[in-house]
Structure 1
Amino acid sequence: MKSELTIYLLEDNSDDVYLFKQLLANDKAINYSTLETDSLDGLHKLINAIVPDILVIDLNIRESIGLDTLVEVRKFSLDIPIIVLTGNDDEIGIQAIQLGAQDYLLKSEINASTLKRAIQFAKERLILYSALGQLATRDKLTMLHNRAAFDEKLEAIESDFLRYEVTYSVLMLDINNFKPINDTYGHLVGDKILQHIGHRLQMFNRANDFVGRFGGDEFVLIVPKVDNDEKLQRLIANKRKVLNGQYAVQSITGEILNIPISIAIGGGIRGINAFSPKELISIADLNMYKDKALNAAKQESGNNNCFSKKD
Structure 2
Amino acid sequence: MKTDITIYLLEDNSDDIYLFKQIVNADDSCRYITVDFASVTSLQKSLEYIIPDLLVIDLNISESLGLQTLKDVKEISQDLPIIVLTGSDETLGLQAIKLGAQDYLLKDEVSTHSLKRAISYARERSVLYAALEELAIKDKLTDLYNRAAFDHRLENFEADYVRYQRSYAAILFDINGFKLINDNYGHGVGDIILQQVAHRLKMFNRASDFICRFGGDEFLLIAPSVTCAESLTEIIENKRAIIDDKYALKSPDNELITVDVSIAIGGAIRGLDAKSPYDLVQAADKNMYADKGNKSISKCW
Asked if 1:138 is matched to 2:131, the reply is: no
Asked if 1:86 is matched to 2:86, the reply is: yes
Q: Partners in 2 of 1:228 and 1:62 — Cα distance? A: 45
**CA 1:305–1:275: 2 relative to 1, 3 Å:** closer
Check conservation: 1:76, 1:156, Cα contact below 8 A. no
Task: Please report how far the alpha carbon of residue 189 of structure 1 lies from its aligned counterpart in structure 2 after TM superposition.
Answer: 0.7
**CA 1:138–1:22: 2 relative to 1, 3 Å:** same
Alignment-mate amino acid for residue 215 of structure 2: G
Q: Partners in 1 of 2:226 and 2:50 — Cα distance? A: 21
1:218-297 alignment runs, 5 A limit = 218-294=218-294, 296=295
Q: Which moves more between the two structures, 220-229 or 181-190? A: 220-229
Check conservation: 2:84, 2:93, Cα contact below 8 A. yes
Aligned equivalent of 2:30: 30
Q: Partners in 1 of 2:31 and 2:227 — Cα distance? A: 40
Task: Please report how far the alpha carbon of residue 208 of structure 1 lies from its aligned counterpart in structure 2 after TM superposition.
Answer: 4.6
Check conservation: 1:75, 1:159, Cα contact below 8 A. no
What are the superposed Cα offsets for residues 130-161 of structure 1, whole Å, 9 maximum, x if unpaired?
A: 23333332222222222122222223443444
Aligned equivalent of 2:184: 184
- TM-score, structure 1 length as denominator? 0.82
Q: Partners in 1 of 2:43 and 2:95 — Cα distance? A: 22
Q: Partners in 2 of 1:226 and 1:20 — Cα distance? A: 46
Asked if 1:307 is matched to 2:300, the reply is: yes
Alignment-mate amino acid for residue 300 of structure 2: F
Between the aligned residues of both structures, percent identity stands at 55
Q: Partners in 2 of 1:245 and 1:156 — Cα distance? A: 34
Q: Which moves more between the two structures, 69-78 or 112-121? A: 69-78
Task: Please report how far the alpha carbon of residue 227 of structure 1 lies from its aligned counterpart in structure 2 after TM superposition.
Answer: 4.7
Q: Secondary structure at the match of 1:93?
A: helix
**CA 1:235–1:129: 2 relative to 1, 3 Å:** same
Alignment-mate amino acid for residue 25 of structure 2: A
Aligned equivalent of 1:172: 172
What are the superposed Cα offsets for residues 13-37 of structure 1, whole Å, 9 maximum, x if unpaired?
A: 4443343333333643333333333
Alignment-mate amino acid for residue 306 of structure 1: K
Q: Which moves more between the two structures, 122-131 or 58-67? A: 58-67
- TM-score, structure 2 length as denominator? 0.85
What are the superposed Cα offsets for residues 273-295 of structure 1, whole Å, 9 maximum, x if unpaired?
A: 4333222222232233233334x
Check conservation: 2:27, 2:112, Cα contact below 8 A. no
The number of residue pairs the alignment matches comes to 301
Q: Partners in 2 of 1:163 and 1:16 — Cα distance? A: 35
Check conservation: 1:266, 1:285, Cα contact below 8 A. yes
Q: Which moves more between the two structures, 183-192 or 168-177? A: 168-177
Alignment-mate amino acid for residue 142 of structure 1: T
Task: Please report how far the alpha carbon of residue 166 of structure 1 lies from its aligned counterpart in structure 2 after TM superposition.
Answer: 4.8
Task: Please report how far the alpha carbon of residue 224 of structure 1 lies from its aligned counterpart in structure 2 after TM superposition.
Answer: 4.0
Q: Secondary structure at the match of 2:293?
A: helix
Task: Please report how far the alpha carbon of residue 81 of structure 1 lies from its aligned counterpart in structure 2 after TM superposition.
Answer: 1.6
Aligned-pair Cα RMSD in Å: 2.8
